[in-house]
Structure 1
């Protein structure tokens, strides 16, 4: 009975820790998700910036797994190069170790303050306040969970069974490493596994081995999560697992010496497990960084790019189900999602050409625009043949699909006839934006891509909260466009030659990206209108 009580106390403490982690991750995503994505997407042009971006994103999200998935999605869309992605994940690993140091620093006394502050902030309106409040509550729960872990493991410290089991585990380090890896993979968090190891009375060498296993297991979750994504995304997760695996193999033979050395280190506010976690990831970064290029090339050979399928017609428009409106609308929705993916690809290739000063990606933009035009016309024709016995709700859904596919076609036109020629002009004339102007335009590009992905999700899920957030981001884009134009005029007054040469180009790109975001946000209109959350005009009454 006593063993059962200890088990549930330990399981409850770990569950509270994982729940706190999820609150921090969800809260930071809600409050600063777009900014974190922009920071990660824009901060990977050089190795040091990529490392710092990965570290800061993980400190914000409290999860290297979340950072790995975000990075993988960017690589899949050609926003981040493979080598920079691996450096960003090295930063994410160090960020997790720093998080463990902060959480274990013996500051449980401030947990009530964090909980109260989070509750107060969470009652205020706005995603930033609500998300920040949720994150503070999550940190407070994590600190409380550490106190519970210490209390739950107290009976284990002097238990004869543990005294007999630990020497057996200490004598089989490979088994101990795999055991800790399984715990981290099961929890989907190397941080939770390290903090659990911290609470147990272990010999120094075994502690280091278990921490190595936790690091290895923490790289398993991204591999599983990206298994359904494209090859580029799977390469990122697999590379992270490969790098951690190589680090564990190299560190395992010297775990005893490392444990003895770290025992005398006495890092303030940390135990041996946290010290080992931090030391391993810093050492891994220093040793692997010079070889990230060859590792990226090796992963490309192991997982070669798949040839893109040439689509000659619609995949989901089945004439046989036209008499069943529900099935027909489902097929049309899937077809429109594929059109949205093509438009997103057009935007990504345009940004790639803008970033690399290489016009070759724009050739695909022209081919994709022809496909988008053809397929949106096929969707409109298909829906016009919908059975007459469709219900009022099904007719409304058909109109929503038509509205969205028409907006996607307009976005494609803006990219093909506006953005692409502007980027060609930049490349052909050898124009260079000022550093500030370039950063502003690239941030607009990246935010537009993220908004398009959110619109795709809103279209399928019809989630009211996400639709509202999409409309709020439209306002953010409008403010970004206005502020960038104002800063550009200030640079013109200051006489910056780059700003003078690219003045019309800068303002044209801003205008086109703003127009694209207006079309993107339109997917939220019918959802919010049904809830009575839209007003007829932005004009102030009176």
Structure 2
């Protein structure tokens, strides 16, 4: 019993080591790997090579599958290059299995020792995360040694021999067991390494080991398909194509398996080397043979998984891939894309509000309320998604980005509620009093509304790019909006003094809408403060004021002059009411 427990713990250590390596590499180089894969779509051989390189680095074809499916789901990559990347990932896994079975026992204690020092002394830095990767590689090498040591006494147990004797070389049965093995270990690499160890200990015959290896490949394809279950149909097609390629490989090798086994056994190598060599040869030949067919496979997968029609109802998130939560750079990119989608919905609400303002469009009002429900749903989804991220492992820049995303999401949700509140206020006024705004008043509200939409777009751009020049420009626009808001308020009061009947009848709702737009503008401009909170800057010069030129409304025209950017220190946050 103790021997079996030692073996299971060694297997668990192997799985944990591959997990540490994968997460460490993705946390340090996740954005670079995304860039490398996204730039590999120019031709299929390049995409195939990129898949090999990325998988060799992260030691997990599942991590590569995660990147490829997210690219396709987000529309950043076509399906055919993504399938070529997945074929390369299979070869990369086989290459790493070969490397890890070399005689590297001396390297394990060195990597663990140096990795622990780096990780504990520089935990929140790239160097510290690289130490984490060293620990993972050291644990993998140590686990392989422990598996060999634990398997030795097991080979002498009659019960274990009887158990493995049930696997008699039936390829389909062995492949099924191998697939289950890969699913349980959550890694085809771990399953192949363990199979090689079992073969070296003579617990399984070579034909059985080959079947287990083929099944482990299929198991990794099933894992990728399960991980992509929350993706759109476009993202799931990548995992489906990869799984179909693995099943086709099984069907192709079945007629020649006996001949292949006879040839392999004639080679002067030990069983573990033969298993690893077969894995590398099988994956390389299979993937090179399948590479020219990726366009046909892409068409087949598109036919098998068509886009589902939109059934209406509350919007659901498109980019919040749960499998990416262990990779901060990827998860934050997903959350940022979903947040921008919320911003687009708020912009649509403003556009429909304009129709209600001018024409009392009832359908536009219903659309605004429906869009607000969508904003609320996506806000909740992004908030819960970010809450599940392991924040203790975030680097300083990632933690800052996390805060920016959650703050903008909350602000946009508040903005959606405010637009719906403005709609209710406007519709109640028109329904109760059957009064409309004066021509000048309607023109003023339209003018302010247009500037509000422009500031929303600029604010979303600042959030996406982090550009400091645009952030300063956004603060200038905030000051311009506030000056314009005061000018239009004064113009409305002037019309009241001139006894303009329509202005008298709509005065309360007119001024309330202006105040609400002012609050919305402050919300839209808040993203600039996150970019410039450590920097002193000024939005407009103190001399920005009324210069006395009367406009057509009888008030002073404003001439705005950009200020020296270092004139005024910015407050750390924006107050919702613009103060």
Please give the TM-score of this superposition, normalised by the length of structure 2: 0.58
Q: Tell me, in whole angstroms, the C-alpha distance in 1 between the residues paired with 2:531 and 2:393.
A: 13
Task: Report what 2:552 is aligned to.
Answer: none
> Partner residue of 2:105?
108
Which residue of the partner structure matches residue 203 of structure 1? 205
1:493 aligned partner: none
- Superposed displacement of residue 183, structure 1: 0.8
**Residues 414-425 of structure 1 mapped to structure 2, 5 A cutoff:** none
Counterpart Cα distance in 2 of 1:376 and 1:59: 53
Q: What residue number does 1:218 align with?
A: 220
Query: What residue number does 1:86 align with?
Result: 83
The residue number in structure 2 matching 1:334 is none
**Displacement of 1:459:** 8.0
Contact 2:69-2:239 within 8 A present in 1 as well: yes
Q: Which structure 2 segments of 5+ residues have no match?
A: 318-333, 355-371, 403-459, 472-529, 537-579
Looking at structure 2, the residues matched to 314 and 16 of structure 1 have their Cα atoms a distance apart, in angstroms, of 42
Where 1:108 maps in the other structure, the secondary structure is: coil
Distance 2:66 2:242 in 1: 11
> Is 1:518 matched up with 2:518?
no
Helix, strand or coil for the counterpart of 2:42? coil
Alignment match, 2:171: 173
Structure 1 residues 535, 8: closer, same or farther in 2, change over 3 A? farther
The alignment partner of 1:169 has SS state of coil
Contact 2:124 2:395 in 1 (8 A): no
Contact 2:335 2:382 in 1 (8 A): no
Corresponding residue for 1:343? 340
1:173 shift after superposition: 2.9
3-state SS of paired residue (2:154):
helix
- The CA RMSD over aligned residues, in Å, is 4.2
Superposed CA offset, 1:236-287 (max 9, x none): 1111111101111221333332233234556899612211211111011121
State the secondary structure of the residue aligned to 2:167: helix
Q: CA separation of 1:267/1:234 partners in 2, compared to 1, >3 Å: closer, same or farther?
A: farther
SS at match of 1:31: helix
Paired with 2:220 and 2:231, the residues of 1 have a C-alpha distance of: 19
1:44, 1:53 within 8 Å by CA — same for their partners in 2?
no
Gaps of 5+ in 1: 317-336, 347-364, 378-401, 409-452, 475-511, 523-532
The residue correspondences of 1:44-59 to structure 2 (distance < 5 A) are 44-59=41-56
Change (3 A) 1:302 1:148: same
Q: How does 1:374-393 map to 2 (within 5 A)?
A: none
Distance 1:206 1:339, change over 3 A: closer
Aligned: 1:470 with 2:391: no
C-alpha change, 1:106 and 1:315, in structure 2 (3 Å) is closer
In the superposition, relative to structure 1, how do residues 457 and 166 fare at CA in structure 2: closer, same or farther (>3 Å)? closer
Go from structure 1 to structure 2 and tell me whether the alpha carbon gap of 1:306 and 1:103 turns closer, same or farther (over 3 Å shift): same
Instruction: Provide the residue aligned with 1:187 in structure 2.
Output: 185
- 1-structure distance, mates of 2:229, 2:28: 28
Q: For residues 339 and 126 of structure 1, what CA distance do their matches in structure 2 show?
A: 22
* Number of aligned residue pairs: 381
Aligned to 2:143: 145
CA separation in 2, counterparts of 1:134 and 1:338? 25
Once the two structures are TM-superposed, the CA of residue 227 in structure 1 deviates from its matched residue by: 1.2
| Residue 337 of structure 2 is aligned to residue 306 of structure 1 | no
| Aligned counterpart, 1:127 | 125
SS where residue 260 of structure 2 aligns? helix
The match for 2:348 is 371
